[in-house]
Amino acid sequence: MNETLAQILIIVGVLLGTVTIAAGLIYVERKMLAVWQQRLGPNRVGPFGIFQVLADMVKIFFKEDWIPPFVDKKVFVIAPTIIMLSVLMSFAIVPFAPGVVVADLNIGLLFFLAMSSLGAYTIVLSGWASNNKYSLLGGVRGAAQMISYEVFMGLSLMGVVLLAGSFNMTEIVNAQKGMWFVIPQFVGFVIFLIAGIAETHRLPFDLPEAESELIAGFHSEYSGMKFGMFFVGEYLGITLVSSMITVLFFGGWLGPAFLPPIVWFLIKMFSFILFFILLRATLPRPRYDQLMSYGWKLLLPLALLNVLVTGAVVLYNH
């Protein structure tokens, strides 16, 4: 009974925690972008504007939820839920601290990859269902981009799997007790970072939405809470990729003992979230063909080479 209660507490805690973090990122992102662009940023609602999140939420909830008459209604409604669902499902396998994990699957990493590959549907379907040229272009771009970068994402993680000898996330963290995997797997880390940005279609690689050329791409036709789902889904995606980087390459909850493990995890995760925001503040959007050729001609061979070398080293030491 007690164990069941603890499990339920963990599930509720992870769900509420991640959604709260994702909502809080609305404020954090705007404030940090302002800080890096020498602006003041949100400062109206509450002290330092920290209630901006609430204001934004109220705004999104009370906006008219308009479904245009020309859209494919069912698919239009389903599409935004997919991203929330797939990302929240992925959080189930993230070990936040020893024992604090919703489902300690033995194929945890594969589960993450599976869920992130399902995330591609949200872009494709919303782009198609909107029945709008710009949305369709965004959907087509999104599909091609996400499928391509999933390949390198999976391959870049294989080095970690080889070193840890398991797909289980907890075991991967425990295997990093001696040395974080970012040192032997630096190439894998860089590739995973880039693929993670492309997978969450964050700003340097936000070609599916590319507001300067496609208006808002796949979510041009969305309003109200349906748009909010895309919005929060994107922030959830950032949180997910940051926590995956933390778990896979930076030792998860491991750290000196003067702080509890969960705090170490959160510190590492938030520094990666901030790095994502810094990336958005800095880099311009590449051209679409540049993005694809960068992926297929540079990252794919690099990822394959990484797997090959890691495999050889592991085999040699075996």
Partner 1 sequence: MLSSVRSLWMVFLKMFKKRVTIKYPEEKPYLAPRWRGRIVLTRDPDNNERCVACNLCAAVCPTDCISLQATEDENGRRYPEIFRINFSRCIFCGLCEDACPTYAIQLIPDFEMSEYNRQSLVYEKEHLLIDGMGKYHGYSYYDQAGVAVGVKPKGGGENESEPVDVRTLIP
Partner 2 sequence: MTIIFYIASLVALFSTVMVVTRKNAVHALLYLIVSLLAVSVIFFISGAPFVAALEVIVYAGAIMVLFIFAIMMLNLGKDSTERESQLMSFGAWIIPAVLCLILLCELIYVFYSYKGTSGSGSLQVIDAAQVSGSLFGGYVLAVELTGMLLMSGIVGAYHIGKEKKREYHRYLQQAND
Kindly list the residues in this chain that would bind partner 2 in the complex (CB under 8 A): 72, 74-75, 78, 105-107, 110-111, 113-115, 117-118, 120-121, 124-125, 127-128, 136, 139-140, 143-144, 146-147, 150, 154, 167
Q: How far apart are CA 291 and CA 267, in angstroms?
A: 31
290 binds, among partner 2, partner 1, none (CB under 5 to 8 A by kind): none
Q: Which is nearer to partner 2, 155 or 266 (CB)?
A: 155
The gap from C-alpha 316 to its chain's centroid, in whole angstroms, comes to: 35
Give the distance between the most distant pair of CA atoms in the chain: 63
Distance CA 115, CA 111 (A): 6
Indicate which of partner 1, partner 2, none lies near residue 217 (CB less than 5 to 8 Å, by partner kind).
none
Residue 38 binds which entry of partner 2, partner 1, none, CB below 5-8 Å type-dependent: partner 1
Separation of alpha carbons 173 and 164, rounded Å: 8
Judged by beta carbon distances under 5 to 8 A according to partner kind, the member of partner 1, partner 2, none in contact with residue 212 is: none
Measured from the CB atom, the residue of 105 and 278 that comes closer to partner 1 is 278
Q: How far is the CB of 41 from partner 1 (least distance, A)?
A: 9
- Site membership for partner 1, residue 302 (CB under 8 A): no
Shortest Å distance, C-beta 42 to partner 2? 37
Residues 18/236, Cβ–Cβ less than 8 Å: yes
The Cβ-side half-sphere exposure at 189, using a 13 Å CA radius, reads: 16
**Beta carbons within 10 angstroms of residue 213's beta carbon:** 13
Which lies closer to partner 2 via its Cβ, residue 52 or residue 126?
126
Give the integer Cα–Cα distance in Å for 262 and 98: 8
